[in-house]
Amino acid sequence: IKIRLGSSSLKLLQEVQLLLNDFGVKSSIALNTRRGTPVGKAGKDGKIYKSKHDSYTLNIIGFDSYQKFCKEIGFLDMKKQERAVDYLGKTCGKPPNSPGIFLIPHPTKNEMVDEKRLGMEYPFSVAAFKGKEDMESDAEVYDLEIEDVSMFSGNGIFVHNSMFGYATNETPSMMPLSIDLAHRLTRRMAEVRRSGALKWVRPDGKSQVTVEYVNGKPKRVDTVVIAIQHDPDIEHEGIRHDVIEHIIRPVCGRWLDADTKFIVNHSGRFVIGGPPGDTGVTGRKIIVDTYGGHGSHGGGCLSGKDPSKVDRSASYMARHIAKNIVAAGLADRCEVQIAYALGFSKPVSLMISTDGTGSVPDGKIEEAVRRLFDLRPKAIIDYLDLRRPIFEKTAAYGHFGRDDPDFTWERTHRAGELRKACGL
């Protein structure tokens, strides 16, 4: 049994796909279906119906989706429905590789995945297997086609990009002071709301901290900016007083002086917040997610991506290496760049920069890093144990500088090896 819907309008099929999804029916859209392609088996009259135009084809994926389509959409005639469901039950029970079950290699797993699991167990997974090529590399490379996207998978590399990691000894978290304080301020905002210490506080809020540096060292906090959602009945002066005394001073403490400027809800009232006020888009706060503007950024967001994307996994690894370099006393601050290209499992570039604060030459540290760390994407995923449901925590308070055992990239257990490798 095969359920296909064909159309010359991709937009129409995408709308149908969304409608089917509301019924729990999973589907994929095949692009560029050529004119004359069969769209069904021969009917009672023996005719095989073929498309009259170049078109797009929507294919139902998986036994459960077929069954739901038959019951709720496709066959109003009860006898037809019963026959279809009975047939589907038998088809679902067939052994792997038997006719009617389409097996393909999954790009991130060493197994064959049948169509029943596509789009369910592995959402946004492979929809059609086109071909396989042998290349001069560490593993086979597949040319794959997924919904609406043509993708070349080179040994786990899905994009080419440069990722950066940063660490500094100016805070215990080895994060720049400004972003460290900014995250602590937003945590404090949540604490006073949840504890009831400030009953007027609502969930939405933002912070920004400007730090003055002298000779590369933080001296004082120059400005603190707070935007905090509030109940409609409280006046601005009450908000400002409570924020300064109950949020800013407990967090920023010794970094404040008589000249520090406090800017609280400067644009006015902030009653409507959260999605009703600003729905937001993931990937738009990449600097807040990382180092607050210190160091460099490759431009790829971390959130919303599984660890097979080096935007995420290699950024974590770069932070891990930079933090261990600083923890080893090899530098006061360090930036690590790792760059990848499609079809290459190892980085095409590795750069270490200590900004003149290193106790040994940067080149020597780079040599040690190359010897001690396996920077192939799969090796990074295994080393940092990233195949776990841990990423929800990164949605707030940043991806780095967190004292959480799940954040394996924050460990500094390799510092001793790095010191020894650098001759210290």
Q: What CATH number does the domain located at 177-277 have? A: 3.30.300.10
Residue 149's pLDDT is what? 32
From the list 299, 312, 288, 315, the residue with the least C-alpha distance to 387 is 312
CATH class, range 161-168+291-421: alpha beta
Fold agreement between 161-168+291-421 and 177-277:
yes
Tens digit of pLDDT for each residue in 138-179? 443 333 333 333 333 333 444 567 899 999 999 999 999 999
Q: Region 317-323: what's the mean pLDDT?
A: 98
- Residue 9 pLDDT: 73
Distance CA 127, CA 17 (A): 14
* Percentage of the chain modeled with pLDDT above 90: 48
Q: How confident is the model at residue 128 (pLDDT cuts 50, 70, 90)?
A: very low
Q: pLDDT (tens digit, 9 = 90+) per residue, 395-417?
A: 889 999 999 999 999 999 999 99
For helices 362-372 and 310-327, angle between their N-to-C axes, nearest 10 degrees:
120
- The type of residue at 389 is P
Span 224-229, average pLDDT: 96
Residue 151: predicted pLDDT: 33
Band the pLDDT of 87: cuts 50, 70, 90. Answer: low
Comparing 161 with 235, which gets the higher pLDDT? Answer: 235
325: helix, strand or coil? helix
Residue 156: per-residue pLDDT: 42
Amino acid at 18: L
Has this prediction a pTM greater than 0.75?
no
Domain edges within the chain: 4-125, 161-168+291-421, 177-277
Share of the chain above pLDDT 70, in %: 67
Q: Which residues 6+ apart lie within 8 Å of 248 measured at CB? A: 185, 224, 226, 256, 262
pLDDT tens-digit series, residues 6-20: 777 777 777 777 777
Query: What one-letter code names the amino acid at 342?
Result: L
